[in-house]
Amino acid sequence: MDMKPIAFKRVSQEESATFDRSVIDYIQNAAAHGLYEIRGLGAKRKLPHFDDLLFLAGSLSRYPLEGYREKCVTKTLLGTRFAKKPVELDIPITIAGMSFGALSANVKESLGRAASEMGTSTTTGDGGMTQEERGSSKTLVYQCLPSRYGFNPDDVRRADAIEVVIGQGAKPGGGGMLLGQKVNPRVAKMRTLPEGVDQRSACRHPDWTGPDDLAIKIQELRELTDWEKPIYVKVGATRVFNDVKLAVHSGADVVVVDGMQGGTAATQTCFIEHVGIPTLAAVRQAVDALEDLNMKGQVQLIVSGGIRTGADVAKALAMGADAVALGQGILFALGCNAETYVQDGQHHSALESYDALGTAPGFCHHCHTGKCPVGVTTQDEVLEQRLHPDVGARRVRNYLKTLNMELTTIARACGKQNVHHLEREDLVALTIEAAAMAGVPLAGTSWVPGR
């Protein structure tokens, strides 16, 4: 019997590592439009992160605390250096600055309510302070940004702290952006802009240049508030060691360091993915700067950029942060990238809305379009109804509560009666990169690369 070979056609499927499908898509999109891509959220590339660190909990050489009954303090004080009225929080987990404009008024109200219930702070953004968020927030941090949209002395006086924003982790060196479809009449009025304009915020402050000027600017804010309120300085993570030192020199009570995983409502993708350093590396440098100046404990450090879980919070604190700030985590808690939204007590599918944006749940980063399928990052009258403030407030409160429980679970396991007692010595790294960046030994060794 004849054995004929089975005929088959060989299909070559060797993908290029340099020009993979996402790169080809990027090039062809650029070729079609002649304009860079703008999108929301933060860096999507894989980076060394808190996942690459592990805790060494109590055992024989260390003594753990009982996980449920023994006390573990989470109280957090911010602004003890100069302010007459420091901010006192029940938990070290705060809500980062996100603008009304980027977010709907319903969302801002949800954040204020959730933060107040949990005894923590929320923060305004590049669009001024809304009545909704002031009314719903027990502790509200008021941002002073380069654009100064809606910035006014009355809101400075009714804020609980002021945050001078130099930069943001998603786009250090870049200004904000709010595309025309989100500049509705209310947003336009608050920002003194024509309706529907593609708004580009300034990247530098209008009335000061450099750290010596900033010192005078901070003094102005102190004089204006009779030295009552803490002044934070927020920097996007780049030359963190020097920037933190200069912020301290300028008279900051609190320094906020935002790593490159930090989110944005809209900026160029090339900016999000290629500018700045990872949060893990930034925390280490920020703490080094404070220790170098002998200011650890006097000037507090808030870390943000990709904080997702209670374990992340615990690791940031162990590295030397006094508190963390969450942005994207809060958005996901609200329902960002969920398949459904809740309206009138019922779940409704948002799939069609994702499809209309050319995306799907789990992949959406279309905050910049204002067509958020779940009503979070929108100014559209219909879409914003997809997130009721009651639903939003409950979800964010639950999320913060979960993080805090996880944080204290880890702290107790490490034998700490106070989450602020977590220390670098409690940590080891899983990868050489993380060990080098975080300055902690590779697990199972005493090796800290570079030391």
State the residues that interact with another protein by CB under 8 A.
33-35, 147-148, 151-154, 156-157, 179-180, 191-194, 197-198, 200, 202, 206-208, 213, 216-217, 219-220, 223-227
In this complex, which beta carbon is closest to another protein, that of residue 45 or of residue 84?
84
Q: How far apart are CA 40 and CA 364, in angstroms?
A: 9
Contact 241, 285 (CB under 8 A): yes
Query: Smallest distance from the beta carbon of 35 to another protein, in angstroms?
Result: 4
Burial class (CB in 10 A: 0-12, 13-18, 19+), 439: buried
In this complex, which beta carbon is closest to another protein, that of residue 94 or of residue 143?
143
In this complex, which beta carbon is closest to another protein, that of residue 219 or of residue 238?
219
Total number of residues shown for the chain: 451
Query: Smallest distance from the beta carbon of 136 to another protein, in angstroms?
Result: 25
* Tokens of residue 100, six digits: 């009304």
User: Which of 114, 226, 211 shows the shortest CA–CA distance to 162?
Assistant: 226
User: Which of 274, 198, 267, 205 shows the shortest CA–CA distance to 235?
Assistant: 205
Widest distance between CA atoms in the chain: 101
Query: Smallest distance from the beta carbon of 285 to another protein, in angstroms?
Result: 30
User: Which of 88, 135, 87 shows the shortest CA–CA distance to 108?
Assistant: 135
Contact 257, 283 (CB under 8 A): yes
* Residue 7, number of CB atoms within 10 A of its CB: 5
Cα–chain center distance at 4: 64
Q: How far apart are CA 149 and CA 133, in angstroms?
A: 16
Tokens 């949990």 belong to: 118
Q: Which residues pair with 324 in a beta bridge?
A: 93, 303
In this complex, which beta carbon is closest to another protein, that of residue 370 or of residue 389?
370
In this complex, which beta carbon is closest to another protein, that of residue 216 or of residue 432?
216
In this complex, which beta carbon is closest to another protein, that of residue 233 or of residue 302?
233
Query: Smallest distance from the beta carbon of 156 to another protein, in angstroms?
Result: 7
Query: Smallest distance from the beta carbon of 43 to another protein, in angstroms?
Result: 23
Query: Smallest distance from the beta carbon of 213 to another protein, in angstroms?
Result: 7
For 348, residues 6+ apart whose C-beta sits below 8 A from its C-beta are: 340, 341, 342, 386
Query: Smallest distance from the beta carbon of 206 to another protein, in angstroms?
Result: 4
Element (H, E) at 303: strand 300-304
In this complex, which beta carbon is closest to another protein, that of residue 15 or of residue 213?
213
Phi, psi (deg, nearest 5) at residue 107: -65, -45
In this complex, which beta carbon is closest to another protein, that of residue 172 or of residue 175?
175
Q: How far apart are CA 321 and CA 21, in angstroms?
A: 39
The amino acid sitting at 267 is: T
In this complex, which beta carbon is closest to another protein, that of residue 160 or of residue 258?
160
* Residue 424, number of CB atoms within 10 A of its CB: 16
- Regarding beta strands 340-343 and 346-349, do their DSSP bridges make them parallel or antiparallel, or are they unpaired? antiparallel
Query: Smallest distance from the beta carbon of 200 to another protein, in angstroms?
Result: 8
**Interior/surface letters 396-407, b for 16+ CB within 10 angstroms, e for the rest:** bbebbbebbebb
Query: Smallest distance from the beta carbon of 27 to another protein, in angstroms?
Result: 16
Query: Smallest distance from the beta carbon of 144 to another protein, in angstroms?
Result: 9
Query: Smallest distance from the beta carbon of 265 to another protein, in angstroms?
Result: 15
Query: Smallest distance from the beta carbon of 389 to another protein, in angstroms?
Result: 29
In this complex, which beta carbon is closest to another protein, that of residue 24 or of residue 216?
216
Q: Distances in Å between the alpha carbon of 97 and those of 169, 263, 278, 335, 367? A: 12, 10, 19, 18, 15
In this complex, which beta carbon is closest to another protein, that of residue 111 or of residue 144?
144
User: Which of 261, 253, 260, 247 shows the shortest CA–CA distance to 232?
Assistant: 253
In this complex, which beta carbon is closest to another protein, that of residue 215 or of residue 443?
215
